[in-house]
Structures are given as structure tokens and as C-alpha cells.
Amino acid sequence: MAMLRFDAQPAYVLHAAPYRETSLLLETFTRDHGRIGLIARGVRGARGQPQRALLQPLQPLLLGAMGQGELLRLTQSEAAGPPPSLHGDATLAAFYLNELLLRLLPRADAQTALFWRYSECIGALTGEHAGWELRRFERDLLGALGYGLALESEALSEREVEPTLRYRFDPDTGPRRVGLGDAGGNAATISGAALLALARDEMPGAVEQAELRRLMRGVLRFHLGGRELRSWRIVSELAAHRGS
């Protein structure tokens, strides 16, 4: 296996965990090399505290590393800018993005355009349209992984999706028109208006955004093999607590 070495690589830490006595095991998302596993040696000791404080999720970084195989050795780390000022739901949304990348993005699969979309989305989570930004990122992540969504034409028939009609959505083939009297409840279907809004990158109203949230969770669950994300469980628990 060839040696990989890079310096001053724009990157983010997606997850950090203790490794042996004084080290950290990092999962990172880099601009030119995709998701990379790194070992940061000695950063949990007293002398390594400044570096450990830097190696946190959401902090823009410039990293250097070298090695072979699944885990490389961290050789350089410095801040590439200030961390985003996120609080409450925005912080949870950012960690949701990290969990998505950890679960779906293969290691060492270069995704330069997705890297910049991730950076852009993190910065947008402080705004009032954070939910829409998440839907856009989910759409772009699936497209980058080869699971692009068919949103503007019906499955198999190639008829154009119509904004006034409702559809069932199959993650493999796309939307299927719902016949009259066969809606099965709005929660099981999605409006053509919502599908077209996501396809055209035009932010829809609150009702359509709620439909898209349900749609994307179902599609992502499909590509996760039916497994749940920890972030989804936390959001559900918080919603239940707020409603109590």
C-alpha cells in the first residue's frame, strides 16, 4: 500500500476519541483526500493540551499527516479560521452533519465539492433557514455518493412531476403518482411542489419543508440499511421533552 503524505490540508474533525494513554483517534474530512482516520499522538498529556483543544469538531483546520493503511499519523495541526458560533439546535444540526458523513462517506474517497458544501452549510446553520440548509446538504451528499434523487420526473413513466399532485417516493426509482382516493395519509406521501423545490434549489414554505424532512429521513434510512442515526433519536427525545 502506497505511502500517503500531505501538509496544510484544509480539514475538519468529524469525531475524536481517546486512543491508548495519551493519544486521540480522529475521523477527519479533508478537502483533497475525503474522510481520513488519524492518530494524534501525545495530545492528551499536559504538553499536548493546546493541540488537543484545537482538534475539535467544527473547527476549520489545516492538517498534515503521513502513513499507510487505514490510520495515518498526524504531523501538523493549526487553525484555518475561527470556529463557528453555534448554540442549541444549531450545534445539534452540525453534529448531525458529522454523523451523516461518518456513516455514509467511505474513507479516502476524495469529495472536494462536498467538502466546500459542508463548510458552507456549517456556516449557514446560524441563520433562520437552517432546516432548508440541511435538506440541501442531504441532497448534495447523496448526489456525491452516486445516490442522486430523481425529483422532477416520475419513476418509470418519465412524466414530469406536477406541483399540485402527490407522490410516493421510492429511493431507488423516484416518485410515483398517487391515484385519487389512494393518498394513504399525507404523512406517507409528498407534494410535487416540495419535490420540485428541492430539485430547483428554491426554498419552499413550511409545509413543504416538513414533507422534505420526512422524505430525506426515509431516503437516508434506506441508504443506511434501515439503521437509525443517534442524532435522530436525540431530536425525537428533545421534541418529546419540549411537548411535555
- 30-42 pLDDT tens trace: 999 999 999 999 8
pLDDT of amino acid 240: 60
The phi and psi torsions of 23 (rounded to 5 degrees) equal: -115, 170
DSSP string covering 26-58, please?
EEEEETTTEEEEEEETTTTSGGGHHHHHHS-BT
d(CA 238, CA 233): 9
pLDDT of amino acid 24: 94
pLDDT of amino acid 117: 97
pLDDT of amino acid 109: 92
User: Could you give the C-alpha distances from 61 to 8, 14, 83, 151, 224, in angstroms and in order?
Assistant: 8, 12, 9, 36, 29
pLDDT of amino acid 182: 59
- Residue 75 has a CB neighbour count (10 Å cut-off) of 16
pLDDT of amino acid 69: 87
Is the separation of the CB atoms in 65 and 74 below 8 Å?
A: yes
Is the separation of the CB atoms in 166 and 178 below 8 Å?
A: yes
For residue 130 the three cell numbers come to 437552517
Could you give all domains of the chain from N- to C-terminal order, each with its CATH number? 4-79 (2.40.50.140), 89-243 (1.20.1440.120)
pLDDT of amino acid 244: 46
- Spans in the chain with pLDDT lower than 70: 1, 180-187, 237-244
pLDDT of amino acid 35: 97
Under 8 Å CB-to-CB from 95, ≥6 apart: which residues? 57, 231
For residue 29 the three cell numbers come to 474530512
pLDDT of amino acid 52: 86
For residue 1 the three cell numbers come to 500500500
